[in-house]
């Protein structure tokens, strides 16, 4: 995301802020004085640093006078080495290696560069660089392509902490540099499925906005169960042999979709000849539907030169290095990396950096002018990529055309790539191939581009292989035009030779017997300038909008003369300028695309409104504010859509240059299409698309369980593939699981009729208890009164208790240290994972599997009825740019929040708090509880959940406090959260962390990087009685659980229980979450309840910290019979206060009797189930269990 | 001869047969008609009659959807009337709601149909569509949620604030004072549905010559024409419309849920339907919910009889 004018805007905003006298009263209000040690929120200073960042354009302009080509011609290299005494000297440069001193504990000390301000953010690699004494723990010996020498000369950067290197620049070296990293994408326990992200700083500052965050790609491969056979052949056979790639037609065949590659090799050293046959396959299930192959990250050595990740600048970024010492630091954001070197490469020509250094196609063709025409035909089915940039570039099924290969009317065979994913700049799919004879070839592609109406999307062709790159080098773009291949919009499939669009098809030279890799990479091509310009306009218009808003408030009075022309003449001017800019871009796009689709016309509509608002001395500004607000959203969406270069590819063909006809027609022909449609239509009556049944036929003696879930199709497909994976449920337990996608309300009637599933994934906690109390859900803690002793014993597993002088641990492993003794115990699994903190003996580290609050929601008395699967809760989201401009820190307590409220409200902004959540968590933050019981009575059936505790002083206090936020402090009760957050009107917003995050990530891309979230504001109080007040900031857990249902007995119960254990384990939960992100994109973040799974989910390190911080401070509503009732009456009471101005405490107290009598009535219903109830006369009358 | 003998033994006269024999004979005679009726009849019995009977049976039990129901006699009904304040409140709300929306929408439908009928055919088609549109457009009533959004950017709130009538956003659908009136307005807006269409159809079937004859017979004005000719002639349509209005007025629940949430604030718009879904859906007390359903059924049935009686007086 770019903010090209952020600095100018900052000035403007500050001016406005000063105008309103806001600045004067801000300081001191909440300047982070209350910041605790472990706070995860950004400090005001950090936020201000962030907003003050310049754009690359400004950066270049700033150094325009100083910039020059450095006199030195060789790169400045920073290497890493193990030897603590060895200081690497490259020419006259003293490279400071920090990893040289060790403290007494063997941990290295960092002496030369200490970032005092950020000490808590772990200043450097102090934690375990590979060159440190504990490098062995990483197990690098097993890494591919990673030698002991590599280990000695590279440094391991964990997923947390900052590493910094000092370089000295002499007079000779002053100038512009590219910065290049050589890294190894190591796979360690810290790795996730996302790419490696680092924050890049020079001298403790982000040099310019676009370089603030760098992404080091990993390479991914799909697991096609490939088998390679190598047969030695004679020299004659070798010279005769022609490489080939062939595919079977999987439509009616068992064993899936198979690709066979045959090529010939000559061993350079022995001189022997080989024929190598590689057979890879995409497996099918028993209905002949393709099953997603697993994506595996391949650790590789790669290089990365800092460049623009959004695709606006094709050239690498240049950095200015002035005389003197400089620090280059990398702050870990996500995933660890092994770094070998950082090189500063002198920029030769910097004055005209935008001109491409790539040669033109004509030049390339001229080089190969005498070459003969190639022969044969290489078929590359796009759904079979050899490497991909990330796992979201995945094969999928498309049955819209009979011409796509392979296609079947009744099953879903993978036949295309790019249905989801594969649309963001920089994503690529790569295909290996060999050509039969040396010569010139054309490339044809069959694809459909129906996403961007009236526009085109771009792909870049890169090639690696002889004549293009040397072995081990990254692929290159062969000529300039290949960087910008256009694919036009059409509702139909298209089949074309890759060319310049004006009749010239590109011809490529390939040599026989050589392995080539063809990369098809997403790019913005010639759209980039336009999108960049629109984005630029959007950020200016947005700032204008905020300025006007600060003057007029949310509801501008259209009859009032605000005198915009005097107060905000700049804004009016900006409106007109941006209208002109948008119109120009629209013109340009029209010329580029040759048509005027509805997509482009959007720009015109907005330009028109801007002209209206900017003219007539601003008389039309006030009445058009509403439209402008919605148009800002439209413009943001427009940019998002334009950046999505979605295209679905069926196949690529490499054919001899003289070929006239494309090998595969765009259409299958009228009659075969018709026949296909008819067959598909009738098949739709018989094929159950929601049945994610079994993968293959199973024999009679295999245990089978039915698993239902009510999520989406994508989710169930992921579960299906995970169950069937090599290390999945079926293979590890020998039990088959049939998945079924159902709608939410199906479960209840199915249980009554006895046709219910064995396991249900994702049942809401309130329903778990509702079902459990009626005997429809099985207890999993080994003490369910409805189960036989034998069945109950299945929930008990053997564990070990480890005892040493300090404490008792429970562990699942048999390992032990020298001290202490290991005893063998039998414990219910649930007790271990749900209640106790488990400690692994060797690590000695405490690991809690689930938050206690989450477990409480699925427990009734002392029986646990399910394992938490998802946990949603509120966190605080804040706009860093807005808060920094207002000079307001992120509030840590509610009183902080209220003290910065005047500043926020003076600028016509507001704070958004979801009152329903706040009413609940405030009781717990203030130290209260919803139910009247002491800890001792928590499981006592007579007292637990028998009376509501809303009439306690604390609860009433908490209720009144929340009411006051809305009645006295005018927090809005109803608001469109995402929209107000996006425009900046609601810089602080409390909302569900995962849901809101997912929404903002796709909905408000223009504010990407400008917002963060942290734990809720809290309340200082002394809970443990030690005289020191600690901060309490609990959030309310909303839990979805996995349950085993009534009717599951004996072996089935054991299998179901194995499934539930497998399903809720940290690894499986993390894999599932990551697969969701890979398949659907960053907006599909998964709110796993398993605390350990969080480690491996693809949040950034700081996000993880914040989430974990909140997860450790959770509260929940424990469900008892009748617990549904308190919620509605509390809401009634709240609305009475807000609407009628009723007294908060009185209002709530008025409902207490109604709540308690409903609970009592409900308990009476369940007296047979051992729940005793408080009688009507107020006497606690235990009812005998009948 | 023998043939005529056997025939002679079989009863042929109604008087010779028992009631069942006669019915069976008639059914055989009209088997084509029954065959044609069968698809609807089967569906009607399975999906309408059976559930009604079932819920009557269930209303005498304690049933939680998950376990076998147990018989409790009339306990559900006694509790409903003697120990459930919210039910009484719901009855009150339902009656207010039904008494306002039922007749008003009925009369409104009739009047508008009457007026529209006077328009030239082409314009009539367009105007009919305009009035009928809200009731066929599914969840279009959600437009009211946008209009009366509690957000300060909601249309009505923003307008009121702009005019200076309000300084703060009103929580329209979450304020006990506004919930009921708003729901009644929305109900009226969506109520010009099938009844309205049937009135238009009824008006058009009337033979013009009857008016001429009536004019000869001494009809003095349009009111007399309406009362003595128009309404009696379209009595079937009036009955149809009335039945629809009653069911709609009493069964108006989903719209309130969508607009006000469930339950509505302070039970301000809590109708019998809501009470039913509260017990059926949230508290898993299907027996009790069935008892509520039975009461609602009886009320509607009673209203039907009353309306029938009233309609027979039309034109007298």
Model confidence pLDDT, tens digit, residues A893-902: 999 999 999 9
Query: What residues have CB less than 8 Å from A802, skipping those under 6 apart?
Result: A808, A809, A810, A811, A816, A820, A821, A822, A823, A839, A841
Q: What is the pLDDT of residue A473?
A: 67
Which residue of chain A comes nearest to B282, CA vs CA?
A1124
Q: Identify the residue with better confidence: A1174 or A654.
A: A654
Buried b (16+ CB within 10 A) or exposed e, A16-55: bbeeeebbeebeebbbbebbeeebbbbbbebbbbbbebbb
Average pLDDT over residues A717-743: 83
Q: How far apart (Å, rounded) are the C-alpha atoms in residues A414 and A533?
A: 39
Whether residues B52 and B84 share a domain: the answer is no
- Proportion of chain A above pLDDT 70, given as a percent: 80
What 3-state class would DSSP assign to A948?
strand
Min mean pLDDT across A408-412, A831-835, A852-856, B145-149 is at A831-835
What whole-number distance in Å separates Cα of residue A976 and Cα of residue A1000? 12
User: Cα dist. A1049→A732, A860, A867, B240 in Å?
Assistant: 21, 21, 19, 54
Cβ–Cβ gap B153/A626 under 8 Å: yes
* Alpha-carbon span B168 to A703, nearest angstrom: 63
pLDDT of residue A907: 85
In a domain, B63, yes or no: no
What pLDDT does residue A756 have?
87
Give me the pLDDT at residue A444, please: 93
Q: Does A1164 touch chain B (CB under 8 A)?
A: no
Q: Which residues of B touch A1162 (CB under 8 A)?
A: 283
Number of C-alpha atoms within 13 angstroms, CB side, residue A297?
A: 22
Please list every residue in chain B whose beta carbon sits closer than 8 Å to the beta carbon of residue A1138. Answer: 171
pLDDT at A811: 63
Contact A1136 B266 (CB under 8 A): yes
Residues B158 and B200 in one domain: yes
Say whether residue A975 is in contact with chain B using an 8 A CB cutoff: yes
Q: Please give the pLDDT value at position A200.
A: 85
3-state secondary structure A518-544: EEEEEECHHHHHHHHHHHHHHHHHHHH
Mean pLDDT of all residues in chain A? 78
Chain B residue closest in CA terms to A974 = B151
In a domain, B178, yes or no: yes
* Cα A365 from Cα A499, distance rounded (Å): 13
Q: Which domain holds residue B38?
A: 1-58
Tell me if A776 and B161 make a contact (CB, 8 A cut-off).
Answer: no
Cα separation, A147 vs A158, in Å, equals 20
Residue B286 lies in a domain: yes
| CB A432 within 8 Å of CB A449 | no
CB neighbourhood size of A1124 (10 A)? 16
Q: Are A1042 and A761 in contact (CB under 8 A)?
A: yes
Q: Around Cβ A348, how many Cβ atoms within 10 Å?
A: 10
> Is the separation of the CB atoms in A475 and A468 below 8 Å?
yes
Query: Are A563 and A29 a contacting pair, CB within 8 Å?
Result: no
Q: How many CA atoms lie within 13 A of B258 on its CB side?
A: 15
Q: How many Å lie between the alpha carbon of A1128 and the closest alpha carbon of chain B? A: 7
Contacts of residue A972 in chain B, CB cutoff 8 Å?
151-152, 169
Q: Report how far apart, in Å, the C-alpha atoms of B19 and of each of B11, B32, B34 are.
A: 12, 21, 18
DSSP letter (8 states) at residue A448:
E
CB atoms B66 and A1136 under 8 Å? no
The pLDDT of residue A806 is 59
The alpha carbon of residue A557 is apart from the nearest alpha carbon of chain B, in Å, by 6
Write out pLDDT tens, residues A1068-1081: 998 899 888 877 77
- The pLDDT value recorded for residue A758 is 92
Q: Give the single-character DSSP code of A512.
A: B
| B71 assigned to some structural domain | no
Say if CB A353 and CB A57 are below 8 A apart: no
**Is position B69 within any domain?**
no
In a domain, B73, yes or no: no
In sequence order, the 6+-apart residues with CB closer than 8 A to the CB of A255 are: A281, A283, A284
More confident residue, A846 or A437: A437
* Residue-level pLDDT at A24: 33
**A966 near B CB under 8 A:** no
pLDDT for position A130: 34
Question: B225 with B108, same domain?
Answer: yes
- Clarify whether residues B128 and B239 are in a common domain: yes
Q: Given a cut of 90, is residue A401 above it in pLDDT?
A: no
Enumerate residues 806 to 835 of chain A having a beta carbon within 8 A of any beta carbon in chain B: none
pLDDT tens for A1093-1118 read: 887 788 877 788 899 899 989 998 88
Q: What is the CATH number of the domain that holds B175?
A: 1.10.3720.10
- Determine contact, residues A1117/A930, Cβ cutoff 8 Å: yes
Closest alpha carbon within chain A to B164: A557
Pairing type for strands A319-321 and A175-184 reads: antiparallel
Task: Give B107's contacts (C-beta < 8 A, 6+ positions apart).
Answer: none
Residue with tokens 């017997």: A513
User: B91 and B13, same structural domain?
Assistant: no
- Contact A626/B158, CB-based, under 8 Å? yes
- Identify which of A974, A1136, A1165 has the shortest CB distance to residue B151: A974
Which strand (E) or helix (H) includes residue A1044? Answer: strand A1038-1044
For residue B154, the chain A residues in CB contact (below 8 A) are 974
Burial bucket for residue B25 (CB in 10 Å: 0-12, 13-18, 19+):
middle
Chain B CB within 8 Å of residue A181 CB: no
Nearest by CB to residue A774, choosing from B64, B263, B282, is B64
pLDDT digits (tens, 9 = 90+) for A311-329: 667 677 888 888 887 878 7
Residues B49 and B127 in one domain: no
- Cβ-defined contact of B65 to A749 (cutoff 8 Å): yes
Inter-chain contacts counted by CB atoms under 8 A, chains A and B: 73
**Chain A residues in contact with B283 (beta carbon < 8 A):** 1124, 1162
Do B238 and B301 lie in one domain? The reply is yes
Last residue of a domain, one of B10, B26, B58: B58
Q: Quote the minimal CA–CA distance from A1135 to chain B in Å.
A: 7
Ranges A931-940, A954-963, A1153-1162, B122-131: which has the least confidence: A931-940
At A652-702, the pLDDT tens digits run 999 998 888 888 888 888 888 899 889 888 888 877 666 666 666 666 677
Report d(CA B106, CA B69) in Å as an integer. 41
* A1136 Cα to chain B: minimum distance (Å): 8
| Cα–Cα distance, B102 to B267 (Å, whole number) | 21
Which candidate from A748, A973, A1162 shows the least CB-CB separation from B171? A973
**Chain A residues touching B167 at Cβ < 8 A:** none
pLDDT of A5 strictly over 60: no
Residues of B in contact with A1168 (CB under 8 A): none
- From the list A751, A765, A702, A827, the residue with the least C-alpha distance to A1048 is A751
pLDDT along chain B (316 residues), means of 10: 54 79 89 92 92 92 84 89 89 89 87 87 87 77 85 85 82 88 87 82 87 86 86 87 83 82 86 90 89 91 88 79
| Range of lowest pLDDT (A206-210, A366-370, A1054-1058) | A206-210
Q: In the Cβ-directed half-sphere of B47, how many Cα atoms lie within 13 Å? A: 6
Regarding whether B86 and B27 lie in a shared domain, the answer is no
Q: pLDDT tens for residues A943-952?
A: 777 788 898 9
Q: Does A771 touch chain B (CB under 8 A)?
A: yes
Considering only CB atoms, which chain A residues are within 8 Å of B58?
none
Distance from CA of B64 to the nearest CA of A (A): 8
Nearest to B284 among A555, A770, A1138 (CB): A770
B27 and B164, same domain (yes or no): no
Domain match, B307 and B200 both:
yes
Q: Is the pLDDT of residue A38 over 50?
A: no
Of B67, B151, B266, the CB nearest to A975: B151
What's the average model confidence in pLDDT over A1119-1123?
Answer: 86
- Across the interface, of A554, A752, A1128, the residue whose CB is closest to B66 is A752
CB of A982 less than 8 A from some CB of B:
no
Please report the DSSP string for A1151-1163 in residue order.
HHHHHHHHHHHHH
Q: Which DSSP string corresponds to A952-1006?
A: SHHHHHHHHHHHHHHHTS---SS--HHHHHHHTS-SEEEEEHHHHHHHHHHH-GG
- State how far the Cα of A438 lies from the Cα of A97, in Å rounded to an integer: 50
Can you tell me which residue has the tokens 């902004």? A909
| pLDDT at residue A53, as a whole number | 67
What pLDDT does residue A831 have? 66
> Looking at the predicted structure, is the pLDDT value of residue A934 above 70?
no
User: What residues of chain B have any CB closer than 8 angstroms to a CB in chain A?
Assistant: 62, 64-67, 149-154, 158, 161-162, 168-169, 171, 174-177, 263, 265-266, 282-285
Q: Is A985 on the interface with B (CB under 8 A)?
A: no
Q: Is residue B228 within 8 Å of residue B219, measured between CB atoms?
A: yes
Instruction: Categorize the per-residue pLDDT at A379 as very low, low, confident or very high, splitting at 50, 70 and 90.
Output: very high
**Rounded average pLDDT over A43-56:** 70
- B87 and B164 in a single domain? The answer is yes
Condensed to tens digits (0 to 9), the pLDDT of residues A983-998 reads 888 999 999 999 999 9
What are the two backbone dihedrals, phi and then psi, of residue A885, each rounded to the nearest 5 degrees?
Answer: -65, -35
Say if B186 falls within a structural domain. Answer: yes
Band (A137; pLDDT cuts 50, 70, 90): low
Q: Decide if pLDDT at A834 tops 70.
A: no
**Residue A923: predicted pLDDT:** 93
pLDDT at A35 over 50: no
Cβ–Cβ gap A775/B176 under 8 Å: no
Query: CB of A1162 within 8 Å of any CB in chain B?
Result: yes
Whether the Cβ atoms of residue A176 and residue A207 lie closer than 8 Å to each other: no
Residues of A in contact with B158 (CB under 8 A): 555, 626
Distance from CA of A898 to the nearest CA of B (A): 19
Kindly tell me the number of DSSP H helices and DSSP E strands found in chain A: 32, 55
Interval A67-124: pLDDT, tens: 777 777 777 777 664 333 333 223 222 233 333 333 333 334 333 333 333 332 222 3
Query: Which of the two residues, B34 and A731, has the higher pLDDT score?
Result: B34
Into how many domains does chain B fold? 2
Select from A497, A422, A437 the least CA-distant residue to A647.
A422
ipTM for the predicted complex: 0.86
The whole-angstrom distance between residue B271's C-alpha and the CA centroid of its chain comes to: 14
Comparing C-alpha atoms, which of A1007, A898, A904 is closest to residue A549? Answer: A904
Q: What pLDDT, in 10s, does the model give residues A535-560? A: 888 888 888 888 888 787 766 777 77
Contact assignment for B282 to A1138 by CB distance below 8 Å: no
Asked if the Cβ–Cβ distance from B151 to A1135 is below 8 Å, we say: no
pLDDT at residue A381 greater than cutoff 60: yes
Rounded Cα distance, B69 and A408, in Å: 49
What's this model's pTM, rounded to 2 decimal places?
0.76
Q: Which of A1139, A1151, A1164, A1165 to mutate to probe the B interface, most B CBs <10 Å?
A: A1139
* Spatial separation of the C-alpha atoms in residues A18 and A186, rounded to whole Å: 51
Residues B103 and B226 in one domain: yes
CB contact under 8 A, A1135 and B169: no
Neighbouring C-beta atoms of residue B300, cutoff 10 Å? 17
**Test mutation, A545, A552, A555, A1136, chain B, max B CBs within 10 A:** A555
Q: Would the pLDDT of A19 be above 60?
A: no
- CB-CB neighbors (< 8 A) of A973 in chain B: 150, 169, 171, 174
pLDDT above 50: residue A1176: no
Asked whether residue B97 is domain-assigned, the answer is: yes
Q: Using the 8-state DSSP alphabet, how is residue A371 labeled?
A: P
Per-residue pLDDT tens over the stretch A741-795: 888 778 888 888 888 899 999 999 999 998 888 888 988 887 777 788 888 877 7
Q: Do A555 and B169 touch (CB under 8 A)?
A: no
- Average pLDDT of the segment spanning A1125-1138: 92
């Amino acid at each position: 995301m770019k903010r090209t004018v952020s600095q100018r805007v900052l000035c403007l905003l500050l001016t406005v802020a000063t105008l309103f006298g806001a600045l004067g009263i801000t300081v001191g209000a909440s300047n982070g004085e209350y910041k605790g040690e472990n706070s995860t929120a950004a400090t005001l200073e950090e936020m201000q640093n962030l907003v003050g960042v310049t754009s690359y354009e400004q950066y270049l302009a700033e150094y325009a006078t100083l910039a020059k080509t450095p006199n030195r011609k060789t790169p400045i290299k920073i290497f890493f080495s193990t030897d603590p005494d060895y200081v690497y000297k490259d020419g006259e440069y003293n490279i400071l290696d920090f990893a040289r001193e060790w403290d007494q504990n063997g941990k290295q000390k960092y002496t030369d560069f200490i970032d005092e301000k950020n000490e808590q953010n772990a200043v450097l690699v102090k934690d375990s660089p590979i060159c440190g004494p504990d490098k062995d723990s990483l197990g690098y010996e097993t890494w591919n392509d990673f030698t002991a020498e590599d280990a000695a000369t590279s440094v391991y950067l964990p997923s947390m902490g900052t590493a910094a290197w000092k370089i000295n620049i002499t007079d000779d070296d002053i100038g512009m540099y590219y910065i290049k990293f050589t890294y190894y994408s190591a796979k360690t326990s810290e790795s996730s499925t996302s790419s490696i992200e680092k924050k890049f700083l020079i001298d403790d500052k982000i040099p310019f906005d676009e370089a603030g965050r760098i992404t080091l790609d990993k390479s991914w491969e799909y697991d096609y169960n490939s088998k390679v056979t190598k047969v030695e052949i004679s020299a004659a056979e070798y010279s005769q042999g022609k490489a080939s790639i062939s595919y079977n037609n999987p439509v009616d065949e068992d064993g899936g979709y198979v690709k066979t590659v045959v090529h010939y090799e000559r061993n350079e050293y022995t001189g022997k000849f080989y024929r190598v046959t590689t057979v890879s396959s995409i497996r099918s299930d028993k209905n002949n539907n393709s099953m997603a192959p697993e994506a595996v990250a391949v650790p590789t050595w790669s290089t990365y030169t800092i460049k623009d990740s959004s695709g606006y600048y094709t050239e690498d970024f240049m950095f200015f290095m002035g005389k003197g010492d400089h620090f280059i630091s990398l702050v870990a954001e996500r995933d660890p990396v092994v770094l070998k070197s950082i090189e500063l490469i002198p920029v030769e020509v910097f004055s005209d950096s935008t001109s491409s250094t790539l040669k033109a196609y004509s030049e390339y063709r001229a080089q190969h002018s005498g070459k003969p025409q190639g022969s044969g035909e290489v078929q590359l089915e796009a759904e079979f990529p050899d490497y991909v940039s990330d796992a979201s570039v995945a094969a999928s099924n498309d049955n819209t055309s009979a011409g796509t290969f392979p296609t079947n009317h009744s099953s879903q065979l993978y036949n295309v790539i790019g249905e989801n994913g594969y649309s963001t700049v920089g994503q690529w799919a790569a295909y290996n191939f060999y050509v039969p004879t040396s010569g010139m070839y054309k490339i044809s592609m069959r694809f459909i581009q129906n996403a961007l109406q009236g526009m085109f999307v771009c792909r870049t062709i890169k090639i690696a292989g002889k004549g293009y790159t040397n072995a081990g080098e990254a692929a290159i773009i062969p000529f300039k035009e290949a960087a910008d291949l256009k694919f036009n919009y059409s509702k139909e499939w298209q089949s074309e030779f890759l060319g310049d669009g004006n009749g010239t098809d590109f011809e490529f030279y390939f040599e026989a017997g050589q392995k080539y890799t063809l990369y098809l990479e997403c790019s913005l091509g010639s759209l980039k300038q336009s999108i960049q310009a629109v984005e630029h306009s959007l950020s200016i218009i947005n700032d204008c909008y905020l300025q006007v808003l600060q003057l007029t408030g949310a509801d501008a009075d259209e009859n009032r003369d605000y005198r915009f022309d005097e107060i905000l003449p700049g804004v009016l001017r900006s409106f007109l300028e941006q209208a002109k800019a948008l119109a120009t871009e629209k013109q340009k796009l029209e010329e580029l695309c040759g048509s005027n689709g509805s997509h482009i016309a959007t720009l015109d509509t907005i330009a028109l409104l801007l002209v209206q608002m900017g003219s007539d001395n601003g008389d039309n500004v006030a009445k058009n504010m509403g439209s402008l607000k919605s148009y800002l959203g439209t413009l943001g969406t427009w940019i998002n859509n334009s950046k999505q270069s979605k295209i679905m590819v069926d196949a690529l063909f490499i054919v001899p240059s003289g070929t006239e006809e494309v090998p595969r027609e765009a259409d299958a022909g009228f009659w075969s299409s018709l026949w296909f449609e008819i067959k598909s239509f009738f098949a739709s009556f018989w094929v159950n698309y929601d049945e994610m049944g079994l993968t293959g036929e199973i024999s009679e003696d295999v245990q089978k369980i039915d698993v239902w879930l009510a999520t989406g199709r994508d989710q169930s497909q992921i579960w299906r593939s995970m169950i069937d994976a090599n290390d999945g449920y079926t293979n590890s337990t020998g039990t088959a699981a049939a998945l079924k996608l159902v709608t939410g309300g199906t479960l209840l009637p199915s249980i009554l009729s006895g046709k219910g599933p064995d396991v249900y994934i994702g049942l809401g906690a309130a329903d778990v208890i509702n079902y459990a109390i009626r005997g429809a859900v099985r207890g999993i803690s080994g003490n369910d009164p409805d189960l036989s002793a034998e069945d109950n014993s299945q929930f008990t597993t053997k564990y070990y208790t480890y005892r040493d002088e300090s404490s008792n641990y429970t562990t699942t492993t048999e390992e032990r240290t020298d001290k202490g003794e290991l005893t063998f115990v039998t414990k219910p699994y649930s007790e271990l994972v749900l209640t106790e903190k488990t400690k692994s003996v060797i690590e000695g580290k405490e690991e809690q599997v689930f938050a206690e609050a989450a477990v409480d929601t699925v427990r009734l008395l002392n029986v646990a009825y399910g394992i938490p699967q998802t946990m949603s809760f509120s966190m605080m989201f804040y706009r860093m740019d807005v808060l920094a401009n207002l000079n307001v820190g992120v509030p840590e307590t509610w009183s902080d929040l209220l003290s910065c409220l005047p500043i926020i409200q003076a600028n016509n902004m507001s704070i958004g708090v979801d009152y329903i959540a706040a009413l609940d968590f405030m009781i717990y933050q203030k130290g209260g509880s919803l139910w009247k019981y002491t800890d001792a009575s928590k499981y006592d059936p007579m007292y637990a959940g028998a009376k509501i505790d809303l009439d306690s002083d604390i609860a009433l206090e908490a209720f009144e406090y929340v009411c006051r936020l809305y009645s006295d402090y005018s927090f809005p009760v109803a608001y469109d959260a995402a929209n107000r957050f996006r425009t900046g009107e609601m810089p602080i917003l409390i909302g569900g962390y995962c849901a809101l995050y997912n929404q903002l990530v796709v909905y408000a891309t223009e504010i990407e990087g400008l917002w963060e979230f942290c734990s809720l504001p809290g309340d200082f109080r002394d809970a443990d009685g030690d005289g020191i007040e600690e901060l309490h900031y609990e959030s309310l857990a909303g839990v979805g659980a996995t349950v085993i249902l009534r009717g599951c007995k004996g072996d089935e119960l054991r299998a179901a229980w194995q499934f539930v254990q497998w399903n809720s384990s940290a690894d499986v939960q993390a894999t599932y979450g990551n697969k969701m992100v890979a398949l659907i994109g960053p907006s599909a973040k998964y709110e796993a309840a398993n605390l350990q799974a969080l480690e491996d989910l693809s949040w950034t390190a700081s996000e993880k910290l914040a989430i974990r911080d909140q997860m450790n401070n959770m509260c929940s509503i424990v469900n008892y019979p009748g617990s549904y009732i308190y919620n509605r009456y509390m809401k009634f009471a709240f609305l009475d206060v807000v609407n009628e101005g009723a007294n908060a405490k009185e209002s709530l107290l008025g409902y207490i009797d109604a709540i308690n009598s409903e609970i009592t009535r409900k308990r009476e219903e369940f007296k047979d189930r051992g729940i005793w109830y408080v009688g009507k006369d107020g006497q606690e009358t235990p009812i005998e269990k009948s | 001869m023998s043939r005529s003998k056997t025939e002679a033994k079989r009863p042929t006269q109604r008087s010779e047969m028992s009631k069942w024999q006669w019915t069976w004979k008639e059914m055989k005679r009209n088997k084509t008609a029954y065959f044609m009726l069968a698809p609807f009849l089967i569906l009607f019995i399975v999906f309408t009659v059976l559930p009604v009977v079932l819920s009557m049976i269930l209303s005498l039990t304690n049933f939680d959807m998950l376990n076998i129901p147990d018989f409790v006699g009339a306990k559900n009904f006694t509790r409903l009337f003697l120990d459930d304040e919210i039910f009484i409140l719901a009855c009150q709300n339902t009656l207010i709601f039904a008494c306002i929306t039922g007749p008003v929408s009925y009369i409104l439908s009739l009047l508008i149909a009457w007026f529209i009928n006077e328009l030239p055919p082409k314009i009539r088609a367009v105007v009919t569509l305009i009035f009928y549109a809200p009731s066929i457009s599914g969840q279009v009533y959600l437009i009211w949620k946008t209009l009366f959004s509690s957000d300060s950017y909601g249309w009505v709130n923003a307008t009121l604030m702009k005019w200076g009538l309000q300084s703060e956003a009103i929580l329209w659908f979450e304020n006990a004072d506004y919930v009921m009136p708003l729901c009644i307005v929305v109900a009226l807006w969506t109520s010009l549905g099938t009844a309205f269409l049937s009135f238009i159809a009824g008006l058009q079937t009337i033979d013009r010559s009857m008016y001429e004859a009536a004019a000869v017979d001494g009809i003095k004005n349009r009111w007399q024409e309406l009362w003595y000719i128009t309404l009696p002639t379209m009595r079937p349509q009036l009955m149809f419309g009335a039945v629809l209005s009653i069911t709609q007025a009493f069964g108006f629940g989903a719209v309130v849920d969508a607009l006000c949430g469930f339950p509505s604030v302070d039970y301000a718009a809590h109708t019998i339907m809501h009470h039913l879904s509260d017990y059926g859906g949230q508290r898993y007390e299907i027996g009790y919910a069935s008892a509520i359903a039975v009461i609602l059924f009886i009320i509607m049935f009673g209203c039907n009889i009353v309306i029938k009686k009233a309609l027979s007086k039309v034109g007298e």
